[in-house]
Amino acid sequence: MALVGIIANPASGKDIRRLVAHGSVFDNIEKVNIVRRILLGLQAVGADKVLYMPDYFGIVPRAVENVHLKMSVEPLDMYCEGTQEDSTLAARLLAEEGARCLVVLGGDGTNRAVAKGSVSVPFMSVSTGTNNIFPCMVEGTIAGMAAGFVATGLVPVEDVTFPAKRLDVMIDGEAVDLALVDVALYDDIFLGSKAIWDMDRVKELVLTQAKPSNIGLSSVGGMVIDRPMPQEKGLHVLLGPSDSDEGFVVTAPVAPGLIKPVRVLEVNEISLGEEVSFDLSPAVIALDGEREVEVLPGKKVSVRLNENGPRVVDIEMTMWLAVRNKAWSPAANEEVSFYGSSGHNA
């Protein structure tokens, strides 16, 4: 059975960055519209069944209203608390149910929560926000079609997905959490509001990726390297106060519309399996841009680069391969071309 899971976070796109920066609000009505198009895309390419995470807004139930669907769309049998643990539990249950693709609507934090539940099922990550690196901005119809091609086996999973890295956060040698994009050591003793915008308090960064086109903390790494970072590498960046004379200063877009000078003291590549130790305690650890872990005095914290992140659907490759294989064409046995024999548009 071509089973697809949908995890749509009703809380994404509404955090404090809308107050301290210039991020736009991504409302739940728009998520309903996106999910409706995802469902139509899934059905068009032959998905049999959808299981979804229930939520307080009812994103998926609203999406199926006034739409004729032949495939089954059912909620997971789970109790939702309205926290990120809902996404983690839903991912675990969907993996146990045999889902062949997980469609995740949310930001970096949502995808991190889903990855804590399962990394064995390919992710189709749809961005619903403005400060995201891991998920992509993609039209819901195309996201649904691509996820459907993967779930039905019309395209080989190993050909159209790629492995993501992750960062394991270790306290006294025990893994306590993970991140998919960045881990930041933040000089504070309370979690407070989740998002980070005071760069003078960020002391160290460990990154799975660093691109100058990124937004958020990983953009700092993108401003200090002059080539794409290899898949088997990560980056460790030590930062200093902006009024210091040490190191050098880069200008980085650390949040939507928030472009800050950041003083960089040291930059080092790290390899898969390598651990970076943090020396500051008490402190707060931010994961994918959100403060999540309090470090008590005397605790030893390290971050390990791990190759066992989720596999991610490459949308472009999926769609090209589906066309090449004539995976869903109603005229699958016929030669189809947009060009005449002369090679010009027909």
Q: Tell whether 72 and 170 lie within a shared domain.
A: no
pLDDT-derived band at 343 (thresholds 50, 70, 90) equals very low
Mean pLDDT of the chain: 89
Cβ 104 vs Cβ 312: under 8 Å? no
pLDDT in tens, 102-134: 999 999 999 999 999 999 999 999 998 666 899
Residues 6+ apart with CB under 8 A from 38: 6, 103, 126, 140, 141, 143, 144, 147
Per-residue model confidence (pLDDT) at position 198: 83
For residues 252 and 237, the answer to whether their CB atoms sit within 8 Å is no
CA distances from 14 to 28, 104, 128 (A): 10, 17, 10
123 with 209, same domain: the answer is: no
| 65 plus 205 within the same structural domain | no
| CA distance linking residue 164 with residue 180, whole number of Å | 8
What's the length of the chain? Answer: 346
225: in domain: yes
What average pLDDT score do residues 74-78 get? 98
Buried b (16+ CB within 10 A) or exposed e, 5-23: bbbbbbbbbbbbbbeebeb
Q: Give the residue carrying structure tokens 């736009």.
A: 24
Does residue 99 have a pLDDT over 50? yes
Question: What are the backbone angles phi and psi of residue 186, rounded to the nearest 5°?
Answer: -115, 130
Average pLDDT over every residue of 168-183: 96
Is residue 121 a part of any domain in this protein? yes
pLDDT by residue (tens digit) across 295-336?
Answer: 999 999 999 999 999 999 999 999 999 999 887 654 443 443
Per-residue confidence at 36, pLDDT binned at 50, 70, 90? very high
- Any domain includes 30: yes
CATH of residue 190's domain is: 2.60.200.30
Give me the half-sphere count of Cα atoms (radius 13 Å) on the Cβ side of residue 312.
Answer: 23
- Per the CB < 8 A criterion, the answer to whether 293 and 167 are in contact is no
Q: Clarify whether residues 101 and 147 are in a common domain.
A: yes
What CATH number is associated with residue 157? 3.40.50
Report residue 286: phi and psi, to 5°.
Answer: -100, 135
- Percent share of the chain, pLDDT over 90: 76
CB 199 within 8 Å of CB 262: yes
The answer to the question of residue 143 being in a domain is yes
Neighbours of 293 (CB within 10 A): 17
CA gap 67, 47 in Å, rounded: 16
Q: Does some domain include residue 346?
A: no
Residue 230 is encoded by which pair of tokens?
A: 């290899």
Q: How confident is the model at residue 23 (pLDDT cuts 50, 70, 90)?
A: low
Rg (CA), the chain: 21
What is the DSSP pairing of strand 49-52 with strand 72-75?
A: parallel
Tell me, yes or no, whether 151 and 173 share the same domain.
no
pTM for this prediction: 0.89
**Strand 166-171's sheet: what is its strand order?**
174-179, 166-171, 301-306, 275-278
Q: Residue 331 domain-assigned?
A: no
Q: How many domains does the chain have?
A: 2
Q: Are residues 74 and 139 in the same domain?
A: yes
Q: Could you tell me if 61 and 199 lie in one domain?
A: no
Q: Is residue 149 part of a domain?
A: yes
Q: List C-alpha distances in Å: 93 to 48, 113, 114, 132, 298.
A: 18, 13, 11, 25, 37
Tokens of 66: 């006034």
Same domain as 176, residue 75: no
Which two tokens mark 324?
């090449």
Residue 333 lies in a domain: no
190, 159: one domain: no
126 and 218: one domain? no
Residues 199 and 88 in one domain: no
Same-domain status, 260 and 300: yes
Helix (H, G, I), strand (E, B) or coil at 250: strand
> What tokens were used for 270?
């790290």
Domain that holds residue 275: 166-306
